[in-house]
Amino acid sequence: MSGKRASIAHAIACSLSSFHLMSNPETPNFVVPSAPNEDSIRVIVVGTAKAVNNFVMTQHRLGFAEAISWSPPLPTPHANQIMRILTKRLSLGETEAIS
């Protein structure tokens, strides 16, 4: 893995580690599920209710996703924050790639 990719992977792992509530270090109580298929992405937004809901409505106005497509507010380990999740199917042609 290149240095840049390793740094990105490390940053993602560190940011996701705050979502893991551990009663037993071997078994996390919170696991981020994978997208249902290879043409799907999962968008996870965490913040205050006001910030998260503002983000969801902005994505709706921009045409990215309908507001009702997002999950209802979900609890996080932080008392003043919520999480909402969107699963979106992408139309990827054979010549398109995400880099």
How high is the mean pLDDT in each 10-residue block of the chain (99 residues)?
A: 48 44 48 70 95 98 96 94 93 57
What is the per-residue pLDDT for 89?
Answer: 85
With 0-12 / 13-18 / 19 or more C-beta atoms within 10 angstroms meaning exposed / middle / buried, residue 81 is middle
Amino acid 38: pLDDT: 74
Instruction: Note the pLDDT of residue 43.
Output: 94
Please list, residue by residue across 33-49, b when 16 or more beta carbons sit within 10 angstroms of its beta carbon and e when fewer do: eeeeeeeeeebebbbee
**Ramachandran angles phi, psi of 32, nearest 5°:** -80, 115
Q: With DSSP H G I counted as helix, E B as strand and the rest as coil, what are the percentages for the chain, rounded to 5? A: 30, 25, 45
